[in-house]
Amino acid sequence: MTTLEDGTSTPAKKRGAFKIKKSVRIEVPVAPVTKAAKHENDSRSMCPESGKSVDYNSAFQYNLACQFYTEDYRRAAEAHRQVRKYVKSWVKPGMKMIDICSQLEATSRRLIGEMGLEAGLAFPTGCSLNNCAAHYTPNAGDETVLQYGDICKIDYGIHVRGRLIDSAFTLHFDPKFDPLANAVKEATNAGIREAGIDVRLCDIGEVIEEVMTSHEVELDGRTYTVKPIRNLNGHSIGQYRIHAGKTVPIVKGGEQTKMEENEVYAIETFGSTGKGYVHDDMECSHYMKNFDLAEQHIPLRLPRSKGLLQTIDKNFGTLAFCRRWLDRLNETKYLMALKDLCDKGIVDAYPPLCDVKGSYTAQWEHTILMRPTCKEVVSRGEDY
């Protein structure tokens, strides 16, 4: 999920001119992910997530303190890897976006062993198309179909005990988009290489911009310098909190704030052939409870608003959700209540974020753990 901050190409094929591969057997992942590969830990650290200094007398004590902190992230990351591998095996032009999201989310729920707020989906599946960079997922009745000439950003999250994996990739079928997708992927990887304990966030942004703008792409007979979308950023991640307060810019000139030990970050970059600046557009689908007001009691007059808030608290807490997920819980006629919660600041709306029409955007993202002795790109896989 995205932080919004105020502050040589292969010739294109004709639309729909793609070859259908022969049918192959697709192995559907069914076994829940219960653990991931072991990693070494270090005995010198701060208490995970609290930020308080702690003296550990042995590596054993540290391992106990960090067991859930690290293994929860790794378990969620392993589920994320399996889900995206499966999705890439069957997604194709001609499918409805709502069907793609529903199947992806069903697989995620099954693999992580969804159990209330203990484990499940961290935020709605983003499947933003073309000039839309982020925060689009179809609402009920949306008949949008994935086309051969689309470039789609698949951004979804999985969590275990509120430890979130936020990772995204760009999906396209027309090879004309390869240079754009690769430029943004290189920029993300450059940002990851630059990241580390005591590294200033502004330095990461400067490196990302330098790498991304070094690329030119040719699309539909025009040449573009790939522009970072300057009002989109990476971000720190907290427990049950997708945006934990720090932003990782993708252009130079950001804050001097440094990364710290045991923090978790989503390093994500967005590149565009447009203005490199996004604005709210289209119908809203993403919502999230205001984390800072989560424990406050705000009086509600409308019974429907009270009921909807109870549903949100029980099923999502401070994690993001979408209208489709309310529909899945058999909530009906909730739009007025949802607006009421937004108007009172209890819930925030996150509309789709789009560059100018006719432009194309790409995204790549990984979650990294700032461990005492290394940075762990926990969501890294063989694919990206």
Annotated active-site positions, please? 155, 166, 235, 243, 268, 365
How many CB atoms within 10 Å of residue 303? Answer: 9
CA 355-364-376 angle, to 5 degrees, is 145
Note the helical H segments in the chain.
59-90, 97-112, 178-194, 201-213, 303-315, 323-328, 335-343
- With tokens 């990461």, the residue in question is 204
CA dihedral 329, 288, 2, 367 (to 10 degrees): -70
The token duo for 56 is 């550990």
* Cβ atoms 100, 144 nearer than 8 A: no
In angstroms, the CA 66 to CA 357 distance is 47
CA 193-361-354 angle, to 5 degrees, is 120
Q: How far is CA 320 from the centre of its chain?
A: 11
Question: 31's torsion region: left (phi>0), alpha (psi -120 to 50) or beta?
Answer: beta
Q: In angstroms, how far is the first alpha carbon of the chain from the final one?
A: 18
In angstroms, the CA 127 to CA 56 distance is 44
Could you list the beta-strand ranges (E) of the chain.
3-4, 45-46, 53-54, 119-129, 132-134, 151-160, 163-172, 216-219, 222-225, 227-228, 232-237, 247-248, 264-272, 279-280, 286-289, 321-322, 347-350, 353-354, 361-370, 375-377
In angstroms, the CA 159 to CA 319 distance is 10
Closest CA to 266 of 195, 318, 333: 195
